[in-house]
């Protein structure tokens, strides 16, 4: 309920009194409430993205934010935190009017989709990245200025690597190949679609240098560019692709890494309880009785998980065990 519709205590008391006296009926209140549910629709600015699609964009770019945080932290050798600030739809004209001059506007293609999109990096973040890459502490100039030729080249290369990360974030929806077309500083010259075309604007909050430097990275993608895959922009489709689609190469790498993983394997001969005095009095040759029988299988643990049963013995003059069964979930053995 909007703030303007919240009733004060006096208004609530007056309404209850009117209902009790019969001055106003519950049916009249219901009719009035139904009348208020009419929404104003602006035909000059039609909403083309549904709430579900906007939520899908949020999921995609939350994943991208994690990838970008890792990449920038490694490149700048400093902690970088990236999070989704907002996801909203607007006209392209509204987006362009919100940018400063000069700005750092990276115009890129989203092959195989037709058309261009924009990644706008606020000058504070862009110059902070530049300063850090060139050996500085990561400070931004007090007043925004256009990029030099060398700075433009570095930003173009860095932007391409940042856009490459969107492939993984988008892979459950479409296989995209983003490519930087050019970098513009004047927003008025960055006309990739008509002014009244609807776009989706994803704003990422970026904090660098232990939160000493903060700014925003904006992704502006026109509806007309996304139209061929618009039906895939649903959370259901996104998660179903996550569950069903498995890259054979990724599976091969995952299996190899699992095989190479090192885990602790230990065999428990048995357990007993001793007092501190008994423990201190132990001598070579003493026999400590355990609760396990001589012919009973031993417990074999992988990490902290009971996984196998085994018989003790020797192999090439070394202590060894022979696996006799595997312990299934629930503690039951399977021969």
Query: What pLDDT score was predicted for residue 27?
Result: 62
Cα–Cα distance, 163 to 251 (Å, whole number):
25
Cα–Cα distance, 10 to 16 (Å, whole number):
10
Angle at 305 between CA 302 and CA 309, to 5 degrees: 70
Pairing between β-strand 298-302 and β-strand 177-184 as defined by DSSP bridges: unpaired
pLDDT category of residue 41 using cuts at 50, 70 and 90 = low
pLDDT > 70 fraction of the chain, expressed in percent and rounded: 79
CB atoms within 10 A of CB 267: 14
pLDDT category of residue 191 using cuts at 50, 70 and 90 = confident
Q: Please say if the pLDDT value at position 69 is more than 60.
A: yes
| Same-fold call for 51-253 versus 262-334 | no
Query: What pLDDT score was predicted for residue 238?
Result: 58
- The partner residues of 178 in beta bridges, in order of sequence, read 110
DSSP state of 147: P
Please give the order of strands across the beta sheet that includes 116-121. Answer: 80-91, 198-208, 213-222, 116-121, 104-111, 177-184
Cα–Cα distance, 111 to 115 (Å, whole number):
8
Cα–Cα distance, 325 to 105 (Å, whole number):
64
Mean per-residue pLDDT over the chain, rounded: 82
Q: Please say if the pLDDT value at position 45 is more than 80.
A: no
Tens digit of each residue's pLDDT (9 = 90 or more) over 9-38: 666 666 666 666 666 665 665 555 555 455
Tens digit of each residue's pLDDT (9 = 90 or more) over 76-86: 888 889 999 99
Q: Please say if the pLDDT value at position 106 is more than 80.
A: yes
Rounded mean pLDDT, 80-106: 90
pLDDT category of residue 329 using cuts at 50, 70 and 90 = low
Q: Please say if the pLDDT value at position 304 is more than 90.
A: no
Q: Where do the structural domains in the chain lie, given as residue ranges?
A: 3-36, 51-253, 262-334
CATH number of 51-253, picked from 3.60.21.10, 3.30.70.260, 3.30.300.20, 3.40.1550.10: 3.40.1550.10
Rounded mean pLDDT, 67-82: 89
Query: What pLDDT score was predicted for residue 4?
Result: 44
Helix (H, G, I), strand (E, B) or coil at 150: helix
174, with CB counted inside 10 A (0-12, 13-18, 19+), is middle
Query: What pLDDT score was predicted for residue 7?
Result: 58
Query: What pLDDT score was predicted for residue 303?
Result: 80
Please answer whether residues 206 and 82 qualify as being in contact, where contact means their C-beta atoms are separated by less than 8 angstroms.
yes
State the CATH class of domain 262-334. Answer: mainly beta
Q: Please say if the pLDDT value at position 158 is more than 90.
A: yes
Peptide bond into 112 cis (omega under 30): yes
Please answer whether residues 89 and 200 qualify as being in contact, where contact means their C-beta atoms are separated by less than 8 angstroms.
yes
Instruction: State phi, psi for 292 to the nearest 5 degrees.
Output: -90, 145
Query: What pLDDT score was predicted for residue 331?
Result: 47
Identify how many contiguous H helices and E strands the chain contains and give both numbers. 11, 11
Angle at 140 between CA 210 and CA 138, to 5 degrees: 45
């Amino acid at each position: 309920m909007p703030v303007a519709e919240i009733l004060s205590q006096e208004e609530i008391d007056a309404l209850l009194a009117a209902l009790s006296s019969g001055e106003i009926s519950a049916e009249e209140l219901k009719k009035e409430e139904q009348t208020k549910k009419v929404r104003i629709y602006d035909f000059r600015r039609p909403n083309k993205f549904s709430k579900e699609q906007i939520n899908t964009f949020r999921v995609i770019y939350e994943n991208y934010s994690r990838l970008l945080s890792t990449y920038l932290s490694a490149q700048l050798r400093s902690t970088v935190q990236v999070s989704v600030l907002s996801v909203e739809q607007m006209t392209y004209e509204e987006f362009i009017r919100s940018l400063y001059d000069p700005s750092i506007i990276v115009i890129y293609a989203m092959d195989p989709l037709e058309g261009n999109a924009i990644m706008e990096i606020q000058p504070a973040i862009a110059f902070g990245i530049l300063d850090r890459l060139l050996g500085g502490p990561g400070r931004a100039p007090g007043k925004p200025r256009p990029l030099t030729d060398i700075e433009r080249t570095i930003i173009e290369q860095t932007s391409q690597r940042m856009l490459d990360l969107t492939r993984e974030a988008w892979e459950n929806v479409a296989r995209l190949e983003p490519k930087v077309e050019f970098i513009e500083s004047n927003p008025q010259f960055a006309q990739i679609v008509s002014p009244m075309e609807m776009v989706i604007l994803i704003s990422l909050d970026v904090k660098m240098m232990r939160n000493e430097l903060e700014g925003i990275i904006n992704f502006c993608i026109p509806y007309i560019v996304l139209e061929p895959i618009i039906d895939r922009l649903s959370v259901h489709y996104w998660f179903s692709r996550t569950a069903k689609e498995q890259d054979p190469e990724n599976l091969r790498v995952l299996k190899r890494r699992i095989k190479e993983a090192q885990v602790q394997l230990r065999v428990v001969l048995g357990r007993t309880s001793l007092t501190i005095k008994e423990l201190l009095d132990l001598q070579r040759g003493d026999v400590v009785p355990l609760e396990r029988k001589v012919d009973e299988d031993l417990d074999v643990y992988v990490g902290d998980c009971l996984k196998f049963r085994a018989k003790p013995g020797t192999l090439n003059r070394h202590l060894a065990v022979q696996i006799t069964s595997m312990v299934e979930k629930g503690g039951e053995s399977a021969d």
